[in-house]
Amino acid sequence: MSDIARAPVYSYIFPGQGAQKVGMGRDLYETSAAARDVFAEADDSLGINLSGLMFEGPAEELMDTAHAQPAIMAVSIAIWRAWQEFLGNQAPRPAAVAGHSLGEYTSMVVGGVMEFSDGIRLVRERGRLMHEASEARPGSMAAIIGLDEYTVAQVAQDAGVEMANINSDDQIVVSGDKMALARAMDLASARGAKKVVPLAVSGAFHSRLMALAQEGLTDAIDGIALRDPTFPVIANSTGTAIVNSEQARQELLTGLCNCVMWKHSVRFMVDAGVNRFVEFGPARVLSSLVRRIDPGVEAMTLSDPQTIRKGAADAS
């Protein structure tokens, strides 16, 4: 924690699957040479026209997990590189980086743990394996709003599901097979939840039902070079800092089945002195959660040339 406390007050944060939309990144491609290089590298690394799918669709194909995950990483990295291109040596060095689920892989690219070409191939394989695991062991997820973490943990235990994302004090996602999930939704409503929302996802992500995907991902992780991060990467599974390559490897090897401790990650960074969060992604997802977790910090989303220019003005 002291390493973060001595660093600048910025944190760079990266969203997960669900933020994708047709047309994302097109304006960056047209205005930023750095962003164009990212999209070209993504296409070359995967051997597919990912950028064309992002810019033109069709939406059903972009929504496929094996396409959505590398697409989100590509556009997040393109925004980050365009931000660096715009600011040059005035770009603030982050005290830490963090990402939500898939975004954790993006944060490891930005944090220097892995090369972008390795990262985007890894998340494509991750998406493919998650799809296969979802077909082998079907399940789903639901957001519980208005109950605290302790109460949701009891609901999950009683219903036979697992907590998958602790997004804020009163927004927690549970994951499991569909019958158990229905029990959990009923229990949460009975125990006073303000709202229980089934999520439009294809599987029970961040639960034991992803064990087959996690096993399959091991070979892919072992096949890439991992380095010590250049600045702390905040781990989803613990909400604390990864400071070496072995910790990064262990996080990747277990992350698909572990809960995303987003609330704890943000509080860890705030407690260590971070007071400005910059989200790099196509939609305001994490910045909104950060404000809910701690209204006293600043949080912005950079998604296009206009928001990059505004963010650069705020940073100067």
pLDDT band at 316 (very low <50, low <70, confident <90, very high): low
Q: For 192, which DSSP code?
A: T
CA atoms of 249 and 245, how far apart (whole Å): 6
What is the per-residue pLDDT across 91-116, written as a single tens digit (0 to 9) for each? 999 999 999 999 999 999 999 999 99
- Residue 19's pLDDT is 77
Express each pLDDT in 178-203 by its tens digit.
Answer: 999 999 999 999 999 999 999 988 89
Q: How far apart are the C-alpha atoms of 270 and 268, rounded to whole Å? A: 6
Q: Which residues are catalytic?
A: 101, 206
Q: Which residues contact 81 (CB under 8 A, 6 or more apart)?
A: 32, 34, 35, 37, 38
pLDDT of res. 146: 97
Opening angle at CA 260, ends 141 and 291, nearest 5: 100
For range 41-56, the mean pLDDT = 96
User: Do residues 285 and 7 make contact, with C-beta atoms less than 8 angstroms apart?
Assistant: no
Average pLDDT over residues 65-79: 95
Interatomic CA distance for residues 163 and 172, integer angstroms: 7
Domains and CATH numbers, the chain: 8-135+207-315 (3.40.366.10), 139-198 (3.30.70.250)
pTM across the whole model: 0.94
What is the full DSSP assignment across 213-275? HHHHHHHHHHTS-----SS-EE-TTTSSEE-SHHHHHHHHHHGGGS-B-HHHHHHHHHHTT--
pLDDT of residue 18 exceeding 90: no
